[in-house]
Chains A and B, each alone.
Chain A
Amino acid sequence: MKPEDVTTAITNALIQGGSSWLISTIVAFLPALWTMTLILHLGRPYVIRTLRRCGLRLGADVWWMSYILMRDALMVVTFALSWVFFQPNIVTSAALPITGGLAALCLLIALAVKLTRRVDDDINAYRLATAFLVLGATLFYGPQVFAVEATSQGYLAGFAKFFTSNSNETLALILMWIALAGVALIAAWMFIRAWVSANRTMTRRLAPKETPAVKETTAAVQ
């Protein structure tokens, strides 16, 4: 092997290895993000209990704002990083949980529930968001723990083969496309909702400016 060959090999390895390392790092961090998302969402009663004991409005506001920001930003980040489950090439080449895409879809539905209903005021909306989050986490953790991270366990070989994306490519791709269609539908619905809502509120705000000003009969300042 000539020095040029070694150079080429190292260059290719850095590109391919860097890419696959990035993907595997994202996948490795997803359980942590899912757990954090669940803990922050389910920990709401504890946060409110602490908030009620604040003597000053400022402290309570800072506490609540930090909680909301962390909880919702984590959900968005977890969904954004779950995007690896919607790349056909990655799904078929990397060892990912086969239901990862459906888990991401559940996360997006929980986000959509938060967007459309007041989850922090409406008990049923909170319950609905919780149900989707728990379902999504189950769809993620099950294959991740017992399939992707259990290749060394002989008695789990059948389960691991079925629930790992690169060893059950056909089903993995079917589930991926179903989840992607769901994501596209929900994203389209969120887009239309934001569009209509913006139109309505902005029209209402602009309306008074378009009507002719009424002539005042008396001076404002006497």
Chain B
Amino acid sequence: MSPQDLTTAIVNGINAGGEQFLEGTLAAALPIIWLAILGLHLGRPYILDMIDRFTLRLGADLLWLIYVALRDLLIVSGVIMSFMFFFPDVVNTDPLPLTGGLAAVALFGVLLVKLMGDPDHNLRAFRITTVLLAVGAALYFVPYVLGTQGSFAFSPNLVTNTNQQWAVIIAYISIGLLAIMGAVAAIYALRTGGRPEAPGSTAAQ
């Protein structure tokens, strides 16, 4: 082996190892993000109850804004960190939960409902976001706990790199769904011009 061969081997090792380390870290952080999202979403009654106890309007406003910002930024972070589920090479190489891409789609669906509806004041929209979060969490945690972290007979079927055919199919389905929802969001933004309601319509206060 020449020094150049050794250099190339180390470079390839750094690149492949670095990439897999990054993806592994993201995959390890995602369950925490999911739990925090669920905790904040389901903890809404507790926050509302606390807001009623404030004697100053400023404190109530700040608590609500911090809660909303934290909750929604975590959902956005969840979608972004789940982006690796849409890359065929990554799902073929790394041991990820099989339906993680569909979980990311459910999370993006929550963002779409928040954009087009008003889950904090509309019961129907709130129920839709809750159902989407429950479905997304199930799609993420079941293959993660029983597949990626489990060693049952069926575990390899729930992990992407040991069930590559289904992993790639699910990745394509997830990309398709995400593209459709992204197009809906873009059309909505173009139609309304970035306003909460379409120009010319009455304000939905």
Binding site for B on A (CB under 8 A): 1, 5-6, 8-10, 12-14, 16-18, 20-21, 24-25, 28, 31-32, 35-36, 38-46, 48-50, 52, 54-56, 58-59, 62-63, 66, 119-120, 123-124, 126-127, 130-131, 134, 145, 149-153, 156
**Cα–Cα, bound, A120→B193 (Å):** 9
User: Interface size bucket, B side?
Assistant: 35 or more
**Cα–Cα, bound, A44→B83 (Å):** 22
**Cα–Cα, bound, A49→B11 (Å):** 50
- Beyond A52-B205, A55-B61, is A9–B87 a contact (Cβ under 8 Å)? no
Contact with A along B1-34 (1 / 0, CB 8 A): 1111011111101110011001000000000000
**A202 CB to nearest chain B CB (Å):** 33
Smallest CB gap from A49: residue in B: B196
Known: A8-B3, A46-B114, A49-B196. 11 other contacts (CB 8 A): A12-B3, A13-B6, A13-B11, A17-B10, A18-B14, A24-B15, A24-B18, A55-B57, A126-B193, A130-B189, A149-B90
Cross-chain contact of A6 among B3, B18, B188, B199 (Cβ < 8 A)? B3
Q: Which residues of A contact B19 (CB under 8 A)?
A: 24, 28
Q: Which residues of A contact B10 (CB under 8 A)?
A: 9-10, 13-14, 17
CB of B62 within 8 A of chain A? Answer: yes
Cross-chain contact of A45 among B80, B175, B189 (Cβ < 8 A)? B189
Q: Are A45 and B195 in contact (CB under 8 A)?
A: yes
**Cα–Cα, bound, A54→B67 (Å):** 13
Smallest CB gap from B93: residue in A: A152
Chain B contacts with A in 152-200, Cβ cutoff 8 A:
168, 175, 182, 185-186, 188-190, 192-197, 199
CB of B111 within 8 A of chain A? Answer: yes
Q: Are A42 and B195 in contact (CB under 8 A)?
A: no
